Amino acid sequence: MRAEAEALRESIKQSLGLLRRHLDVDVATRRLAELNAKVEDPNLWNDADAAQKIMRERTELEERLGALGRFESDLDDALTLIELAEAEGDTASEEEGLAELRHLKSEADRRQIEALLSGEVDGNDTYIEVHSGAGGTESCDWARMLFRMYARWAERHKFKVEIIEETFGDEAGIKSGTLLVKGHNAHGWAKTESGVHRLVRISPFDSNARRHTSFASVWVYPVIDDRIEIDVKEADCRIDTYRSSGAGGQHVNTTDSAVRITHIPTGIVVACQGERSQHKNRATAWNMLRARLYEREMEIREAAANATEASKTEIGWGHQIRSYVLQPYQLVKDLRTGVTSGTPGDVLDGDLDSFMEASLAQKVYGGGPVAVEDVE
């Protein structure tokens, strides 16, 4: 047990050292002091946009510096507990200390990957768009399950979630849906989820209880702030208004408040029906279109653009990034990294961290499927 504790201690300290260097603690501490001084300025909110940026940067630095401090304190507490337990022969307390070290190791690994989210928009809020594939009701129901999965993932991480658009299927599920996930590094974490997701199960819509395979696609793209200029000509777009689908009260049912914008040169289509006001939906749809066009431009620039686009060309066999098997056995497997889970129910309830971490590590460190243990 002592050998395991020593190995965990060294690994955690190494991760903490990397995190401290990446953050540059001395510089971050001085910057936080500057931001705290600005926050005390009574004229701060004269410029609301500038004030919000200052508050966001301050909150981020406070969280990152605070997390490092808590890590070091928790590590010392766990090591002290193990040392005292060994001296007193208290096996239960010693195991408790080891369990805390294992937890700290997992969290340190996660934060080490998160520290490498240095892309221009990794720290931004993100849109998560889900589309059903061929297969009618079965596929629409699978799209609904994925839509809920990402909402639950976001809620687990204390991100704010808004439903921007939801087009319901004819009998069940959704044909498409868009979530806006707000929180630090929301896009950085979620961006690896873009691609086709495959479900295998006994269909609840088949009276003969046969096994069905369904597909749905997920696209993840960042919310673009004012720092990034994207020129969209209104003449290149077709704007349609329509009535929101599904329940939503008398206003939604009788007013063409939903907005769909088609960017004719690229064929990109975005839609918003989250607000009762057509004006607000139109503004949100324009922001979504700018975000999609930015993401498209970034994909073109990246060397892996062809592979990324290929994963989106067809919602069906041969293009999936992850398979979710509910029958005849229980397994979720990511086909890019090899990460698996034997508890699909947990995954569909938003437990996606192991998949996201492995995909991010693969992007950062390169190589094929990472060597990981199966998730029980």
Domains of the chain: 2-115 (1.20.58.410), 133-376 (3.30.70.1660)
Q: Minimum mean pLDDT among 216-220, 246-250, 300-304, 338-342: which range?
A: 246-250
As a whole number, mean pLDDT of residues 298-305 equals 62
pLDDT value for 376: 30
**Residue indicated by tokens 């299927």:** 169
Strands 331-334 and 195-202, sheet pairing: unpaired
As a whole number, mean pLDDT of residues 121-128 equals 90
Q: Minimum mean pLDDT among 22-26, 75-79, 82-86: which range?
A: 22-26
Per-residue model confidence as pLDDT tens digits over 206-255: 778 788 899 999 999 998 866 666 778 888 999 998 877 655 444 444 56
- Asked if 324 and 198 count as a contact pair (C-beta separation under 8 A), the reply is yes
pLDDT value for 246: 57
Alpha helices per DSSP H over 40-167: 48-88, 91-115, 137-156
Is residue 371 pLDDT above 50, yes or no? Answer: no
As a whole number, mean pLDDT of residues 171-200 equals 93
Is residue 260 pLDDT above 60, yes or no? Answer: yes
Across the chain, mean pLDDT equals: 84
pLDDT value for 249: 46
Q: Interior CA angle at 195 toward 192 and 199, to 5°?
A: 115
Return the biggest CA–CA distance within the chain. 78
pLDDT value for 346: 97
Report the C-alpha gap between 90 and 82 in whole angstroms. 9
Per-residue model confidence as pLDDT tens digits over 15-58: 888 888 878 889 999 999 999 999 999 999 998 878 888 998 89
Per-residue model confidence as pLDDT tens digits over 165-179: 999 988 899 999 999
pLDDT value for 365: 59
Residue scoring higher pLDDT (210 or 135): 210
Q: Which H or E element spans position 216?
A: strand 211-222
